[in-house]
Amino acid sequence: MTHDHDHTEPHAPIEVDVSDGPDYFEVMVHALQELLVDKGLIDADEVRARLELIDSVEPSRGAALIARAWTDPAFKQRLLADGSAAIDEFGIDNYDGTHLIVIEQTPEVHNLVVCTLCSCYPRPVLGLPPDWYKSRAYRARAVRDPRGLLREFGTDIPPEVSIRVHDSNANMRYLIMPMRPAGSESMTEAELANLITRDSMIGVTVARLPR
Amino acid sequence: MTSRYAVGDRVRICARYAPGHVRTPFYVRGATGHIERVLDKFLDPEREAFGINAGTETQLYRVRLNQSALWPGYTGEPIDTLELEIFEHWLEPA
């Protein structure tokens, strides 16, 4: 890992880098797990199965959810009104028990999600966050210079469109519903899902254009 | 549900710096905005971090801030905003 800063508190970097071996918090996690297993409160297979569950979720699940909302106006209204209830209705296992807020992109407001304090992310819908989402640079610049950051992602937001940054700093999780692109009117729900990328559901880009 | 603030109320985020498991980021402390929506009550993370859960449910809000007021020399547009979640004991009327 790079230590280009001079603070000395023993906190762990959010970025994953194994070259220096386990850090303080990884050692703590393993010690805690061993204690819980030794005491018979959990077993190793439960830990493994939980990790397997976490790893099994992919962004295509979120894309299917948004494609349904694009094609079913009543479902879209339910999803925007109560994200947690709507993903339950859609059959998504909200395995971490977090509360979901779905935010709609509009011609007037472009929304962007960040977690400045750590790496909070709608994992039951999108899976694990990309490494850049957890980087200090993204977390700082998403709030401080969102337009400049978006330009580096290839996303130019015109000055008349408002940027709204959502800092996922406490109990809620955020999923962005990109705008359905022009020219997609005759596409099926499954075809539409292919236009909806992970990054468009974080808000760093827009939905793909139909070919 | 009794919450101290309602949607649209002007609020200031407290500028306190005591250490602990605090979910109020430093960059918004002292900032003024308004209540965007009233969320549920959740365990107070500052007490939860010490294993104290009973009776600590605390009202959580989403607060909307104006980016150009939040950052000196903000280079975006005056219409840009930022929203985040703030517990009731970190808010005061503005």
Please tell me the predicted confidence (pLDDT) of residue B49: 93
Residue A39 C-alpha, separation from nearest chain B C-alpha, in angstroms? 20
Tell me if residue A119 is catalytic: yes
A82: pLDDT strictly greater than 70? yes
For residue A197, is it left (φ>0), alpha (ψ between -120 and 50) or beta?
A: beta
Q: What's the CA gap between A45 and A82, in Å, rounded?
A: 34
Cβ of residue B77 closer than 8 Å to a chain A Cβ: yes
Question: Contact B25/A169, CB-based, under 8 Å?
Answer: yes
- Does B59 reach chain A within 8 Å, measured CB to CB? no
Residues A172-206: tens digit of each pLDDT = 999 999 999 999 999 999 999 999 999 999 999 99
Q: How many Å apart are CA A172 and CA B61, to the nearest integer?
A: 10
Q: What angle do CA A96, A13, A200 make, to 5 degrees?
A: 55
Tokens of B68: 């150009």
CB contact under 8 A, B76 and A164: no
- In this complex, the residue of B24, B27, B39 whose CB is nearest that of residue A172 is B39
The length of chain B is 94
Dihedral of the alpha carbons of A181, A185, A190, A193, in degrees to the nearest 10? 10
User: Per-residue confidence at A2, pLDDT binned at 50, 70, 90?
Assistant: very low
Is CATH 3.10.450.50 what the domain over B10-93 is classified as, yes or no?
A: no
pLDDT digits (tens, 9 = 90+) for A83-106: 999 999 999 999 999 999 999 999
CB A13 within 8 A of CB A137: no
Give the distance between the most distant pair of CA atoms in chain B: 45
- How many whole angstroms separate alpha carbon B69 and alpha carbon B76? 11
- Verify whether residue A115 is a known catalytic residue: yes
Which helix (H) or strand (E) is B59 found in, with range? strand B57-66
Residues forming beta bridges with residue A6, ordered by sequence position: none
Three-class secondary structure assignment of chain A? CCCCCCCCCCCCCCCCCCCCCCCHHHHHHHHHHHHHHHCCCCCHHHHHHHHHHHHHCCHHHHHHHHHHHHHCHHHHHHHHHCHHHHHHHHCCCCCCCCEEEEEECCCCEEEEEECCCCCCCCHHHHCCCCHHHHCHHHHHHHHHCHHHHHHHCCCCCCCCCEEEEEECCCCEEEEEECCCCCCCCCCCHHHHHCCCCHHHHHCCCCCCCCC
Scan for tokens 């007021």, then name that residue.
B69
Q: Do B27 and A143 touch (CB under 8 A)?
A: yes
Indicate the domain borders of chain B. Answer: 10-93
- At B1-59, the pLDDT tens digits run 589 999 999 999 999 998 899 999 999 999 999 999 999 999 999 999 999 999 999 99
pLDDT in tens, A141-180: 999 999 999 999 999 999 999 999 999 999 999 999 999 9
Give A-chain residues touching B87 at CB under 8 angstroms: 170
Residue A18 has pLDDT above 80, yes or no: no
Give the pLDDT of residue A20.
73
Which phi and psi angles does A197 have, rounded to 5°? Answer: -100, 165
